[in-house]
Amino acid sequence: MSHILVLVDLSPAGEVRGDAAALLAVAAQLGTPVAVAAIHPGAGEGAAALLGGLGAQHVYLAETEQAHTLLSLPQVEALDGAVRHFGPEAVLVSHTHNGQDVAGRLAVRLGTALNVDAVALARDESGLVATHSVFGGSTLVEATVRGARSIITVRPGTLDAPAPPSAAAEAIVVPLRLDGVPAAQLGTVEAVIETSNRPELRTASKVVSGGRGLGSKENFALVEQLADTLGAAVGASRAAVDSGYALQTRQVGQTGVTVSPDLYLALGISGAIQHRAGMQTAKVIVAIDKDEDAPIFEIADYGIVGDVFTVVPQLIDAIGARQNS
Amino acid sequence: MRNQREPDDDGGTRPPDGAPDTETEGGNMRILVLVKEVPDTWGERRIDPASGRVDRQSSSPVLDEIGERALEVALAIKDSDKSTEVVLVSMGPASATKSIRKGLAMGASSAIHLVDDALVGADLLFTAEALAALIGREAFDLVLAGNESTDGRGGIVPAMIAEHLGMPHLTFMDSLRIEAGQVSGMRNGDHGPAEVSAHLPAVASITERLPDPRFPNFKGLMTAKKKPYTTVSLAEIGVGGMREAASTVISSKERPARSAGVKVVDSGNAGRELADFLAQNRLI
C-alpha cells in the first residue's frame, strides 16, 4: 500500500486542531495513513498516542523550539523530511490559510503536482481522483491527479470517511533545524474568547449565521442562543463582523471561512455573492430576513420573510417543546 | 536588503553583499503589485467543456478587485512617501492590457505584462514559476498581491512565489505596515488574528478587509497611456516551454442552479412551521 501523508495541526498545548481526523480517515481509505507534525521538543510521546488513536499507522514528528513562532516553514520542513522518508503517493493538507501556504511552498520545493481545494478524494484504476467545487459551488469538476506524487489541499468539513480503527502508531521523532530559513515571525495569536463548547465553524454539521439585520452586538446573542439550541456553530456575514457584532473568525464567505454543513440558517443576512460563495454548498439552507427581495432567498430551501426577533424566539421555543416531549 | 536586479546584458551589475539596504537609504521603496484580469463575478461563469479550463470568453473581463485593493495598499504607501515606486506585474493574454492600464490610471508608475501562448492553461506550479522568474529579475522591496483571485480561488500563488525567491511570506494580511526595513501586520490566521513580521524583501498578500481601491481620476486616465508598459515573453525571462498540468479534468458538471424553495411571509406562526420543517428533514 502506498503511503498517504497528512499534515496535522497541533496546538502549543498538544491538541489536534482542525480537520486532521477526517484527513486521516480518508488517507486510510486511499493507502497507509501517516500523520506529520511540527512540535515542541518533548511533546512527541503524547502526540504519537493521540494520532495513533485517529488511525495513523506512522507518525512523523519534527521537533523544534520554533514550531509555533515561525510562519509555515516548520510545517514545510517537517513534510519535506517526511516525504523523503516515506516516498508517499500523496500529501494531504487542510485548505486553510496556514495549510495553503504550507502546501504551496512544499510543492515548489519538491517540484510536485499541486491540486487545491478538493471536496472529495477517491481512487480509480487511473489513480487518485480529486473533486473540486468551483465558482461558489455552482460547478463540480473531477480531475485525475497526475504524476507519481501529489500535494492535495482539502476543503475543511467536506470529507466524510468512517473513522479508521486506532493504531499503535510507529513514531519517528527528528530534530528540526530552522536557522536562517526565510520565514516570517509569528507573534502571539490574539486570544479568541470562546464562551461555550460550540462545534468548530469549519467542520460543524449545523451553522447559524447572523448578519447586519441583527442590528447590534447585544441582539447578536439571539444567533448564539439558536445555535446552542441546535448544537450548531455560530457564523456571521462580513457586514456583521465589520459592525462589530461578531468576531472576525466567525466570518463566512469569500474572505472568511467556507462551510458545507447539513443545515445553514441565515438570520438577517441579505446574501451578497461574497457570502454565498462561502455557504451555498450547504445541504439545506434556511433564511429569515425582513426584506422579501434579499438575494439569500434565491438559494434558500426554506425562506421566511419576517422579523428575526419574533420568528427566532418562537423557533427556539418550538424546538425546546419538541425536545421535551 | 532589497532584492537587486540581476546583471543584464547592458552591463548592469549586482552590488556586492552588504550594500546599503532600504533601511539606511530611507525611502525609494520599490513595490511590485500582482494584478490579474478575471471574468466578472457578476456574470455567469463556467468551465469550457472542451479544455476543462475556466471559460474566459463567456463573461466580460475586469481587473480583479482584490488585486486593485493590493494596489491601493501600495499607493497609500506611495502617498505618504512620494519616492515609492509602484510597479504592476501581470500575467495574461495580450487583451488584458486594457484592464492592466486601469491600474496605471489609479496611480501605478509602470507595468510589466507577461504574455506567452505557452502560459494558456498554466497550472499553479507553472504560474508561480513564471511570475517568480519575472519578479526575480526586478529590484524590489516588497511583492504585494491579493489573497486570492475570484476565479481560481487557490489563494496559494503568493507563498509559492516566496518559496521560489527564498523569501518570507506574510499572507492573508488584514493590515500591513512598513517601517525600518520590516513589513508587519495582523494576519487572518486559522486560529485567530496573529501579529506577523519579516525583514524586507518579502512577499505579502492582503485580504478584502483593507480599504477599498480608489477610482482613477481624470488626470490618472490621461497619463496612464504615457506610462511605461513593458510586455515580456517566457523566453525573455528565461523560462522554458510548456508544462504538464498537475491534473487532468475528467468531468465537469454544473450543479443544477440552487433554486429557491419555499418562501413564506410570517403571519405569526413561521417559527413553529420552521421547527416542523427541520424535524421533517431530521435536522433537529
Mutate to test the interface with B, among A93, A96, A105, A202 (most CBs of B within 10 A): A105
CATH for A3-175, options being 3.30.70.20, 3.40.50.1100, 3.40.50.720, 3.40.50.620? 3.40.50.620
Among all chains, which residue has been given the C-alpha cell 456583521? Answer: A240
Give the residue from A319, A30, A106, A25 showing the smallest Cα distance to B125: A106
Please indicate whether, in this complex, the C-beta atoms of A188 and B263 are within 8 angstroms of each other: no
In whole angstroms, give the CA distance from residue B114 to residue B100: 11
In whole angstroms, give the CA distance from residue A151 to residue A99: 11
Mutate to test the interface with A, among B258, B272, B273, B277 (most CBs of A within 10 A): B258
Tell me the backbone φ, ψ of residue B144, rounded to 5 degrees.
-120, 140
What is the extent of the structural domain holding B119? 22-237
Please indicate whether, in this complex, the C-beta atoms of A101 and B169 are within 8 angstroms of each other: yes
Look at residue B277 and tell me if it is in a domain.
no
In whole angstroms, give the CA distance from residue B125 to residue A142: 19
Give the residue from B272, B246, B229, B259 showing the smallest Cα distance to B109: B229
Least CA distance to A320: which residue of chain B? Answer: B275
Of B169, B251, B261, the CB nearest to A184: B169
Of B247, B257, B261, the CB nearest to A144: B247
Please indicate whether, in this complex, the C-beta atoms of B196 and A186 are within 8 angstroms of each other: yes
Look at residue B144 and tell me if it is in a domain.
yes
Scored b (16 or more CB within 10 A) or e, A240-278 reads bbebebbbbbbbbbbbbbbbbbebbbbbbbbbbebbbbb
- If contacts are CB pairs under 8 Å, which of residues 68-107 in chain B contact chain A? none
Convert the pLDDT of each residue in A85-116 to its tens digit.
999 999 999 999 999 999 999 999 999 988 88
Q: Among the listed ranges A64-78, A193-207, B215-229, which one has the minimum average pLDDT value?
A: A193-207
Looking at the structure of chain B, the number of domains it has is: 1
Q: Which residues of A touch B171 (CB under 8 A)?
A: 97, 100-101
Look at residue B48 and tell me if it is in a domain.
yes
In whole angstroms, give the CA distance from residue B227 to residue A286: 51
Helix (H, G, I), strand (E, B) or coil at A229: helix
In CATH, which superfamily holds the domain spanning A201-324? TPP-binding domain (3.40.50.1220)
Convert the pLDDT of each residue in B55-101 to its tens digit.
655 567 888 888 999 999 999 999 999 999 999 999 999 989 999 99
**What does the pLDDT read at residue B21?**
41
**What does the pLDDT read at residue A133?**
75
In whole angstroms, give the CA distance from residue A269 to residue A296: 7
Scored b (16 or more CB within 10 A) or e, B256-270 reads eebebbeeeebeeeb
CATH number of the domain to which B49 belongs: 3.40.50.620
Q: pLDDT: is A175 or B122 the higher one? A: A175
The reply to whether B58 touches chain A by the CB within 8 Å rule is no
DSSP output for chain B: -PBPPPP-TTS--PPPTT---HHHH-S--EEEEEE-EEE-TTS---EETTTTEE-SSSS-EEE-HHHHHHHHHHHHHHHH-TT-EEEEEEES-GGGHHHHHHHHHHT-SEEEEE--GGGTT--HHHHHHHHHHHHHTS-BSEEEEES--TTT----HHHHHHHHHT--EEEEES--EEETTEEEEEEEEBTEEEEEEEESSEEEEE-TTSPPPPPP-HHHHHHHTTS-EEEE-TGGGT--S----SEEEEEEEEPPP----EEEE-SS-HHHHHHHHHHHTT--
Of A143, A292, A303, the CB nearest to B249: A143
C-alpha cell at A15: 491538541
**What does the pLDDT read at residue B85?**
97
The reply to whether B250 touches chain A by the CB within 8 Å rule is yes
Look at residue B265 and tell me if it is in a domain.
no
Look at residue B264 and tell me if it is in a domain.
no
Per-residue pLDDT at A192 exceeds 90:
no
Q: Among the listed ranges A16-25, A253-262, A268-277, which one has the minimum average pLDDT value?
A: A253-262
Helix axes A221-230, A308-324, angle to 10 degrees: 20
A71 contacts: CB under 8 Å, gap ≥ 6: A101, A183, A184, A185, A186, B168, B169, B170, B187, B196
Residue A295 DSSP code? G
Distance from CA of A249 to the nearest CA of B (A): 6
Mean pLDDT: which of A43-47, A130-134, B229-233 is highest?
A: B229-233
C-alpha cell at B78: 506611495
Query: What is the identity of the amino acid at A39?
Result: I
**What does the pLDDT read at residue B49?**
65
| Helix and strand totals (H; E) in chain A | 8, 17
Please indicate whether, in this complex, the C-beta atoms of A137 and B167 are within 8 angstroms of each other: no
The reply to whether B212 touches chain A by the CB within 8 Å rule is no
**What does the pLDDT read at residue A18?**
84
Convert the pLDDT of each residue in A194-235 to its tens digit.
555 788 888 889 999 999 999 999 999 999 999 999 999 999
CB atoms within 10 A of CB A42: 9
CATH 3.40.50.620 in chain A, residues? Answer: 3-175
Distance from CA of B140 to the nearest CA of A (A): 17
Least CA distance to B263: which residue of chain A? Answer: A303
Look at residue B8 and tell me if it is in a domain.
no
Of A11, A105, A186, the CB nearest to B163: A105
Strand partners for B33? B88, B144
Residue ranges of the alpha helices (H) in A131-290?
221-230, 238-242, 273-276
Task: List Cα–Cα distances, A29 to A25, A82, A123, in angstroms.
Answer: 7, 20, 9
CATH 3.40.50.1220 in chain A, residues? Answer: 201-324
In whole angstroms, give the CA distance from residue B26 to residue B181: 9
Please indicate whether, in this complex, the C-beta atoms of B170 and A184 are within 8 angstroms of each other: yes
Mutate to test the interface with B, among A301, A307, A308, A323 (most CBs of B within 10 A): A301
Q: Which residues of B touch A240 (CB under 8 A)?
A: none
Q: Which residues of B touch A320 (CB under 8 A)?
A: none
Task: Please answer whether residues B187 and B196 qualify as being in contact, where contact means their C-beta atoms are separated by less than 8 angstroms.
Answer: yes
Task: Please answer whether residues A19 and A159 qualify as being in contact, where contact means their C-beta atoms are separated by less than 8 angstroms.
Answer: yes
CB atoms within 10 A of CB A126: 11
Query: What is the identity of the amino acid at B181?
Result: G
Tell me the backbone φ, ψ of residue B28, rounded to 5 degrees.
55, 35
**What does the pLDDT read at residue B8?**
44
State the ipTM, two decimals: 0.81
Distance from CA of B212 to the nearest CA of A (A): 14
Please indicate whether, in this complex, the C-beta atoms of A182 and B187 are within 8 angstroms of each other: no
Distance from CA of A107 to the nearest CA of B (A): 8
Look at residue B56 and tell me if it is in a domain.
yes
Of B45, B156, B274, the CB nearest to A104: B156
Scored b (16 or more CB within 10 A) or e, B153-163 reads bbbbbbbbbbb
Distance from CA of A51 to the nearest CA of B (A): 20
**What does the pLDDT read at residue A224?**
94
Q: Which residues of B touch A288 (CB under 8 A)?
A: 270, 274
Torsion sign (Cα): A40, A41, A43, A45: positive
Q: Which residues of B touch A304 (CB under 8 A)?
A: 263-266, 270, 274
Please indicate whether, in this complex, the C-beta atoms of B248 and A144 are within 8 angstroms of each other: yes
Least CA distance to B258: which residue of chain A? Answer: A299
Look at residue B162 and tell me if it is in a domain.
yes
B222 contacts: CB under 8 Å, gap ≥ 6: none
Helix (H, G, I), strand (E, B) or coil at A151: strand
C-alpha cell at B230: 513593458
Convert the pLDDT of each residue in A32-51 to its tens digit.
999 999 999 988 888 999 99
Of A114, A138, A182, the CB nearest to B254: A138
Q: Which helix (H) or strand (E) segment is A117 a member of?
A: strand A113-124
Mean pLDDT of chain A: 90
**What does the pLDDT read at residue B7?**
44
